[in-house]
Amino acid sequence: MSKIQYTRALGKLLTTSIQNSKESVRYHIVSGLTQNWSVISEGSTKAVKSFSEQEEAINYAKQKVANRTGEIVIHTKTGQIGSRIPVGI
Partner 1 sequence: MPFETNVFINCPFDKDYVPLLKSLVFTIIYCGFEPQLSITRSGANIRINEIKKLIKGSKYSVHDLSRCKPMKIGELPRFNVPYELGLDIGCFEYGGAKLKRKVILILETEKFHYQKVLSDIAGQDIQDHNDEPKKVIQKVRHWLATNNIHLSFDGPTEIWNSFNLFNSDLNATLSSNFTKHEIEEMSVVEYMKFTKNWVKIKKQYG
List the interface residues with partner 1, window 59-88 (CB under 8 A): 73, 75, 77-81
Inter-residue contact 11 to 40 (CB < 8 Å): no
Query: From CA 72, how far away is CA 42, in angstroms rounded?
Result: 10
Beta strands in the chain (DSSP E): 26-31, 37-41, 47-51, 70-75, 81-87
Q: Which is nearer to partner 1, 34 or 67 (CB)?
A: 34
Taking the complex as a whole, the smallest distance from the CB of residue 64 to partner 1 amounts, in Å, to 17
Taking the complex as a whole, the smallest distance from the CB of residue 68 to partner 1 amounts, in Å, to 18
Query: From CA 57, how far away is CA 55, in angstroms rounded?
Result: 5
Q: Which is nearer to partner 1, 67 or 86 (CB)?
A: 86
Q: Which residues bind partner 1 (CB under 8 A)?
A: 2-6, 10-11, 13-15, 17-19, 21, 28, 30-33, 38, 40, 42, 45-47, 73, 75, 77-81
